[in-house]
Structures are given as structure tokens and as C-alpha cells.
């Protein structure tokens, strides 16, 4: 027989069991992350659906649908556009449709089969909104939509074909609804397509004949040095949606904003037109920690002004109650190594002789044993480039 343990040993063992039980129950919840969603509908697009919901997001919260530009992905737009910051701050969900058409993953804003109500990519995006509103108990009266370039043009498509789904919209470096069909895409991208405001408005009204409900408010952003989508498209968008909303094409007021931005307000503010002097083609961001700053500068994310900040306010999202904050996470580990070593360790990948961080897809430089980079882990198999110290 084994000797009976002492009373002190029994107490120690009991305490250890209690500690282990508490730890098993009190495991911290996983931080919110971008999550892929399937089974949201027939998806004739076909498109991918990704969703971000801040931890503790209560029922009845609003949402923003965000459409990336060509050559981008849902993850790239989520990571760099600045929208996640305000989703966490103000308490709203983000829905990221993702184009899958090779070679550039552009939304098909110029294809007849994708820009009509009840078909193609337009229907896929509408199904995402309906699914998310029901599944996550979002407020159907507070769904907004934004997009860059081809995503901006598809935003105009959605506002025209499904006006009942959206409270407001933001079109960034985009194009008017039906500025292309049956013409080629280059017609509107390279220069203006001259129509009267009434003609532009008639194209939107014709997308959903007989609709008499409210129309979404619209903000328009366009760089005045845009070399991809001619800046005339910003003016044509202004004409199209002021006509749809029954407003004058003369601004009611003009305001100077940071980053060389001029904001023109139409009617009672239902339409806003942001002209950004000297800016090329991309989403306006303004990296930094101030209240009006957001985003990460890079390809097609241009350091001028935080458009997500102004659009969050335009959408009325800054008046909501933010979700219950989660505990501050522990500092994430950093890794300093050559770009070749990072790829061998699974923290990065190489393409065309260059290394890119997993998850953020940030460029790290040449893929070799001579260039050294510091990466900080931000999630499971996700890293971001940081300075030499972390």
C-alpha cells in the first residue's frame, strides 16, 4: 500500500486543481478578426464575403460595406483603408465583398450581366447585406457602402440597383452608374462622358423602375491628379446623384479640409464632393494616432486625408455607442531576420523576387539573405513590418 499524503500535500493539490479549473473557464476570448463567410446566397457573381465585427458588438448595430479596388483584396482594404479603426471606435460591422475575376480581381462595373438588379455581382452583394443583417442582427436602416475605383463604380451600381438597402454611400475615385455600357471601359475612365444631370439621373432611376422610397445620401472623393480614372468622373457623379436627390448642381457651401482637400456640400448635405488637389488614384488616408487620422499609406492608399473619418461622420456612425472594449492584449512578439529566413520560417512569402509579410501583404524588399526586416506578429499567421525596434 502507498502511504497516505500529508494534510499539507492534500491542501496544495486541492489549490492546484482549483487554479487549473479557473484557468480552464476564464480563457480570454479571441480578438475580433476578418472572417470569411460562405453560404450567404446563390452568389451569381461569384464573389467572396468577409466580415469584421468588433468584440461585444450589440444587436441593432450599423454596418459598412467596403469594396476594394482592382489588384486588391478584402484583406488589403481591411488592413490599410482605416475603416477598422472607426468600426472599433464607434461600434459597427464591416462587410467586405471580394472580387474573384482574373487577372486583376476587378468588380465588373462595366458588364451588363453584373450591374442590373437581380443578377450578377450586384445580386451577390445584395445577398451579403441581407445575410449579414439577419445573421448578425444589424440595423437594416443603417447600412452604408463605400468603394475605391472599380469598387467605387460598383458602389454606384449598388446605390442605383438596391437603394432600399443603403442609408448612405461613398464613391472613391469611381465612375457614374452606366457611364460605360454599352461603350468600353476606357470611354469614361480616360475622359468625360458628356450627359446632362437629368440624363445621368435617369440612368439611376431606370435601374429600379417604380421605386419611390428614400435614396441614399452620397459622398464623392476624387484626386485632381488621378491618372487612372479621369477626374471628370467626380463631376459627373456629382451631377448624377444631385439630380437623383433633387438637388441643385451649385454647391450650398465650400470648406477647406486637410491634405489639400476642398469639400463642396449640396442641398442640405445629402451630397458631398471632396476634391483633393495633387492626389493621384487611391483611397485617401492619413496615418497617425490623432482623432482625424487613419489608415496605412501604400499602393492606392494615398497619404492626404482620412476619408474613413469623414465618411464615418457623414454616415452618422459617430453617434452610436461603441461596443464593450476587450482587455488590452499582451504585446505581440517580434522577429528580426533576413527576408529569406522569414519566408523559411513561414512569416512571409516571396513573389517575383520580393518578400511580403503574411497577412498584411506589406512589401519587405528583395528576397535574399542580405536584407533584414523586423516583423511583428498581429494574429495567427499574420505579421506587419515595423522598425528596427519593436
The three grid cell numbers given for residue 191, joined into one nine-digit string? 475622359
Cis amide bond preceding 45, omega within 30:
no
Place of cell 488616408: 285
Q: How far apart are CA 126 and CA 134, in angstroms?
A: 12
Cis amide bond preceding 182, omega within 30:
yes
Q: How far apart are CA 24 and CA 20, in angstroms?
A: 6
Q: How far is residue 162 CA from its own chain's centroid?
A: 19
Q: How far apart are CA 133 and CA 168, in angstroms?
A: 16
The three grid cell numbers given for residue 306, joined into one nine-digit string? 482620412
Instruction: Describe the strand order of the beta sheet including 348-351 as a list of residue ranges.
Output: 348-351, 354-357, 363-366
| CB-CB contact of 337 with 345 (8 Å) | yes
Residue 264's beta-bridge partner residues?
Answer: 254, 273
Rg (CA), the chain: 24
Would you call 149 a catalytic residue per the annotation? yes
Catalytic choice (61, 144, 149, 382): 149
| CB-CB contact of 159 with 78 (8 Å) | no
Residues tagged active-site: 149
Amino acid at each position: 500500500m502507498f502511504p497516505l499524503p500529508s494534510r499539507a500535500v492534500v491542501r496544495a493539490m486541492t489549490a492546484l486543481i482549483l487554479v487549473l479549473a479557473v484557468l480552464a473557464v476564464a480563457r480570454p476570448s479571441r480578438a475580433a478578426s476578418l472572417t470569411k463567410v460562405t453560404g450567404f446566397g446563390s452568389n451569381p457573381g461569384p464573389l467572396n464575403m468577409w466580415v469584421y465585427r468588433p468584440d461585444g458588438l450589440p444587436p441593432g448595430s450599423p454596418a459598412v460595406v467596403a469594396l476594394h479596388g482592382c489588384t486588391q483584396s478584402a484583406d488589403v482594404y481591411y488592413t490599410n483603408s482605416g475603416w477598422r479603426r472607426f468600426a472599433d471606435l464607434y461600434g459597427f460591422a464591416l462587410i467586405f465583398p471580394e472580387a474573384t475575376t482574373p487577372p486583376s480581381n476587378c468588380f465588373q462595373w462595366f458588364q451588363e450581366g453584373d450591374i442590373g438588379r437581380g443578377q450578377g455581382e450586384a445580386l451577390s452583394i445584395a445577398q451579403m447585406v441581407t445575410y449579414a443583417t439577419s445573421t448578425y442582427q444589424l440595423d437594416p436602416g443603417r447600412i452604408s457602402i463605400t468603394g475605391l475605383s472599380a469598387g467605387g463604380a460598383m458602389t454606384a451600381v449598388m446605390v442605383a440597383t438596391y437603394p432600399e438597402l443603403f442609408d448612405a454611400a461613398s464613391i472613391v475615385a469611381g465612375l457614374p452608374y452606366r457611364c460605360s455600357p454599352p461603350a468600353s471601359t476606357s470611354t469614361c475612365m480616360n475622359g468625360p462622358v458628356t450627359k446632362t444631370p437629368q440624363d445621368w439621373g435617369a440612368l439611376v432611376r431606370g435601374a429600379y423602375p417604380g421605386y419611390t422610397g428614400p435614396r441614399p445620401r452620397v459622398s464623392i472623393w476624387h484626386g485632381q491628379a488621378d491618372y487612372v480614372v479621369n477626374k471628370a468622373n467626380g463631376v459627373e457623379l456629382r451631377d448624377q446623384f444631385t439630380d437623383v436627390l433633387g438637388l441643385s448642381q451649385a454647391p450650398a457651401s465650400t470648406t477647406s479640409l486637410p491634405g489639400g482637400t476642398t469639400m463642396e456640400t449640396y442641398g442640405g448635405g445629402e451630397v458631398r464632393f471632396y476634391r483633393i488637389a495633387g492626389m493621384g488614384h487611391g483611397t485617401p488616408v492619413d496615418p497617425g494616432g490623432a482623432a482625424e487620422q487613419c489608415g496605412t499609406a501604400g499602393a492606392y492608399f494615398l497619404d492626404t486625408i482620412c476619408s474613413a473619418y469623414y465618411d464615418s461622420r457623414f454616415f452618422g456612425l459617430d453617434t452610436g455607442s461603441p461596443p464593450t472594449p476587450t482587455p488590452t492584449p499582451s504585446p505581440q512578439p517580434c522577429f528580426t531576420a533576413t527576408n529569406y529566413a522569414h519566408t523559411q520560417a513561414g512569416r512571409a512569402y516571396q513573389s517575383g523576387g520580393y518578400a511580403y509579410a503574411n497577412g498584411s501583404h506589406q512589401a519587405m524588399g528583395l528576397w535574399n539573405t542580405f536584407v533584414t526586416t523586423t516583423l511583428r506578429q498581429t494574429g495567427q499567421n499574420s505579421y506587419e513590418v515595423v522598425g528596427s525596434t519593436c
